[in-house]
Copies of this chain bind each other. A is one copy, B any other.
Amino acid sequence: MSDSTALELLKTKLRSIHHLHDAAALLSWDQETYMPTGGGAIRAEQLATLQTLAHDQFVSADTEALLIALLDTSSGAILPEQAASLDAASQALLRETWRDFSRAKKLPSTFVNELERECSLAQQVWVKARKTNDFQLFLPNLERLVELKRREADYLGFTDSPYNALLDTYEPGATVAQLKPLFHTLRTELVRLLDQIRQSPVHPQTSLMTQSYNTDQQVEFGRLVLTHMGYDFQRGRLDLSAHPFTTAFHPTDVRVTTRVFERDLPSCLFSCIHEGGHGLYDQGLPPSQYGTPLGESISLGIHESQSRLWENAVGRSREFWQYFYPKLQARFPEQLGSVPESEFYLAINRVSPSLIRVEADELTYNLHIMLRFEIELDVIEGRVMIDDLPDVWNAKMQDYLGIIPTSDADGVLQDVHWSLGAFGYFPTYTLGNLYAAMLFQQAKIDLPQLGQHMTEGNLLPLKNWLNDRVHRWGRQYSASDLIKQVTGMALTPEPFIDGLREKFGALYQLP
């Protein structure tokens, strides 16, 4: 078997496996958007079957035989006789495929099926538990999931902490040892800044955000912003769901969702921009590499950097609103006609500790993440009992943000992640914020007209820059290599902290 034949056969195989992932993704998207409630139980089974099958096909002897023709299956090293004729992209494709294969191979098919089924059911129980503020209802599911995730870590293998095995699923290469000092530095700076803001004479008024805003008009405005961002509706959709998300079946079919409340203007607006950032990444992946790692996003951290860059660096900037605020006023003349842009800008950038992560401001958001990171680290390493989680949560909320949830629904039950078995996912949100700040700093250097363009509603130069620097590479580079390649620096919280200091220093008239 010649190397190019083996590689082509491998790609074909990967593409057909990806079709199963696409189908599963559509089943999930449908579950969140249009599925009738009665369809929940069978949907869990359908998803479990598809995920198990995709897993089985991926770790099959067929796939392994193709890999053996190309690389050393003990080390993952590409065979010397093949390496010479493979370009850097193909070598990266093999490196990443090998990473996925060797991880997947460690998970028994029965385990994958059990985990998938449990997650799908747990998610439905979580929905009820959150709605009825009943942590006890969710407790047995959560206990089973934690047990399953510990087993997953054991199957995958790890050094130092089982949490590293889970973290590596979402953010390849990241470790507890790396995150702890990073988060420590960040926390110190954030708390310092938050204290300064607390003492500021400036008190943004947010009541203008909770007037009555027609929900159809809100969604239409979100659509307008997405169009300006370069999100392609010929290759995408915007729907409503309880929790906004983005899903992609292929660069030609990438879907974002939002949610909309009559008396909460920022919710729909910023979730559209946020998910639009994710959507641009998925629409910007190379179609020719569909199904292979080079057609996939690098990590959740890099994915989140795209959404946060658009949501915060763009969507909460003065330049952006210089163009869009008159358009928003025109849609809501009664509510905003007499509100000056400066007041609106202050309101969308208000810093104030709050209970719900997804509604948190740009600064305190990361404190929500650190709290979750510490809790799930303790859970996976077995230092806390699951039934103590509501108390642990509330104590940390008091410690980090100075407020205590009045209900578990607004506390430990607020996020869907754990019900999906997604332990190790939360830290990627903060990594996303840090990457976003680094990338945006570089974009401003590479695109000297960026600010000017934004004031004109021309967001395409930024989108094209991200397409070129980030999206089109798929997983050819690791997160750390990509960031170094684009910005010349290793991961650092400095640009993020500097950005906050600059913005809130001016906004809150800090010393």
Contact = CB atoms under 8 A, between A and B. Distances in A.
A450 interface: no
A24 B19 CA distance: 11
A261 interface: no
Interface stretch (A198-206, A227-235, A364-372, A415-423): A227-235
> For A19, A37, A235, A290, which residue has the most chain B Cβ atoms within 10 angstroms?
A19
> For A35, A46, A252, which residue has the most chain B Cβ atoms within 10 angstroms?
A46
Given A26-B27, A27-B26, A53-B53, A19 B45 contact: yes
A236 to B, nearest CB: 6
B249 A16 contact: no
Interface in A100-142: none
Interface string A23-48: 11011001000111111011101100
Nearest to A19: B49
A237 interface: yes
B290 A36 contact: no
B50 A23 contact: yes
A23 B36 contact: no
A250 interface: yes
A205 to B, nearest CB: 38
A49 B20 contact: yes
Contact of A38 (B19, B27, B38, B253): B253
A234 B50 contact: no
A189 interface: no
A362 interface: no
A368 to B, nearest CB: 33
A22 interface: yes
Interface residues of A, number: 37
Contacts of A237: 34, 36
Contacts of A234: 36-38
B235 A39 contact: yes
Contacts of A253: 35-36, 38-39, 42-43
Contacts of A35: 253
For this chain, the copies found in one complex come to 2
A36 B249 contact: no
Interface string A202-235: 0000000000000000000000000000001111
A215 B218 CA distance: 23
A307 to B, nearest CB: 20
A25 to B, nearest CB: 10
A290 to B, nearest CB: 7
Contacts of A42: 22, 249-250, 252-253, 290
Contacts of A38: 232, 234-236, 252-253
Nearest to A255: B36
A64 to B, nearest CB: 19
Nearest to A39: B253
Nearest to A46: B19
A30 B27 CA distance: 10
Contacts of A239: 34
Nearest to A254: B36
Contacts of A49: 16, 19-20
A34 to B, nearest CB: 6
Given A20-B49, A50-B19, A249 B39 contact: yes
A113 to B, nearest CB: 10
A120 to B, nearest CB: 12
Contact of A23 (B15, B39, B46): B46
Contact of A27 (B23, B41, B250): B23
Contacts of A24: 23
A367 B39 CA distance: 39
B30 A46 contact: no
Given A36-B253, A38-B252, A42-B290, 19 more contacts: A16-B49, A19-B45, A19-B46, A22-B42, A22-B46, A23-B23, A23-B26, A23-B46, A30-B30, A36-B235, A36-B252, A37-B234, A39-B235, A39-B249, A39-B252, A42-B250, A42-B252, A42-B253, A43-B253
27 contacts: A15-B45, A16-B49, A19-B45, A19-B50, A20-B50, A20-B53, A22-B42, A22-B46, A23-B23, A23-B26, A23-B27, A26-B27, A26-B30, A30-B30, A34-B34, A34-B239, A35-B253, A36-B234, A36-B253, A38-B234, A39-B250, A39-B252, A41-B252, A42-B249, A42-B253, A42-B290, A53-B53
